[in-house]
Amino acid sequence: MWALLSRLLGSAAVLVAVSLVLFALIHANPVSPARVVLGNDASEEDIAQFDADNGLDRPVAEQYLAWASRSLRGEFGRSLVDDTSISRTIAQTMPVTVELVLWAFLLALVLAIPLGIVSALHEDRWVDHLARALATVGVSIPGFWLGLMLIAWGAVGLGWFPAGGYVPWTEGALPHLRSMVLPAMALGLYYVAIISRMTRSAVADVMMADHVRVSRAMGLGRGRIMVYILRNALSPIVTVAAMSFGYMFGWALIVEQVFTLPGMSRALLNAIFRRDYIVILDVVLIITAFFLAANIVADLLYRLLDPRIAE
């Protein structure tokens, strides 16, 4: 319990540190958001009035405390550029990004773990060499290029999937799922390579352990031995999987842009282009929270897989 509490406090401290650094970097930009909203022809009086109306003329520390207090209450304020509700923007875009990441994560686990196990069981054979080659290709292909190739293959060549855009659930489950297949593949295939290599390494290390050799010498069945091997190999796999889940929210920015998905990561990119500072702060903080939450879940899984960790 104390370890979990310490982990939660540490995660809260990381959130505060990220928000402080991001807030400082954004306000280090000498260009006022008023220039983006009002245009280059705006007078100094107009800019000063805009800053006063939006609280940008106050000290940076005071601005940070006001923004942080609103964020803690779930009140994200309004966009500086178009005065839209940030809470509404997040409510509309977050489900798209979360669903994309979940599908990509599921794809990565379903493909990577069996591939890593088969590779470890056939070490230095053709299956292992093929898995290594696929992993090398997977980590080497840029996400945007892979997305374009998937569009050329699945949308233009085969015509099975749409080339882009988002179909909501209200228009039918099948059209919705078809619109998510290519983006999920573009996001998940990179992590198939990462998780499969970790799975292979973890399983191969456990297979060389003394207790596995003893189990074989005692005549235990192959299936039962594999259960023990997988259980002991899960800890590093869980670590990499949790980190991959968090990183996917960052990589989703590229995938959502390629496939024109109206997700939270694409909203972040648009906010960066428009210098919409408040939106940038809120979205980055939410993505950081997802990453930290994934690592906390990984810690909880450690304690379920190995009760000795909680001692």
User: Which pairs count as long-range contacts for 63-72, CB under 8 Å and 24+ apart, including other chains?
Assistant: 63/23, 63/27, 64/19, 64/20, 64/23, 67/23, 67/278, 67/281, 68/19, 71/281, 71/282, 71/285
Residue 143: per-residue pLDDT: 76
Give the three-class secondary structure for 8.
helix
Q: Look up residue 131 and give its two tokens.
A: 């898995």
| pLDDT score recorded for residue 244 | 87
Q: Which amino acid is at 106?
A: L
Q: What is the reported pLDDT for 305?
A: 67
Question: What pLDDT does residue 138 have?
Answer: 75
**pLDDT score recorded for residue 105:** 93
Residue 104: per-residue pLDDT: 92
**Residues 6+ positions from 206 with CB-CB distance below 8 Å:** 212, 229, 232, 233
Q: Are 33 and 80 in contact (CB under 8 A)?
A: yes
Asked if 256 and 100 touch (Cβ cutoff 8 Å), the reply is yes
- Residue spans of the domains in the chain: they are 94-264
Task: Write down the pLDDT at residue 106.
Answer: 92
pTM, full prediction: 0.82
| Structure-token pair, residue 113 | 């773990």
**197 closest CA partner among 102, 101, 302, 118:** 118
- Note down pLDDT in tens along the chain; length 311 residues: 666 677 777 778 888 888 888 888 777 766 667 766 776 677 777 777 777 777 777 777 877 888 777 777 777 777 777 777 888 888 888 888 899 999 999 999 998 888 888 888 887 788 778 878 887 777 777 777 888 888 888 888 888 888 888 888 888 888 888 888 899 998 888 888 888 888 888 888 877 777 767 777 776 666 777 777 777 777 788 888 888 888 888 888 888 888 888 888 778 888 887 777 788 888 888 888 888 888 888 777 777 766 555 55
CATH of domain 94-264: 1.10.3720.10
DSSP 253-293: HHHHHHTT---HHHHHHHHHHHT-HHHHHHHHHHHHHHHHH
Please classify residue 33 by burial: count the beta carbons closer than 10 Å to its beta carbon, then call 0-12 exposed, 13-18 middle and 19+ buried: buried
Task: Return the pLDDT at 256.
Answer: 86
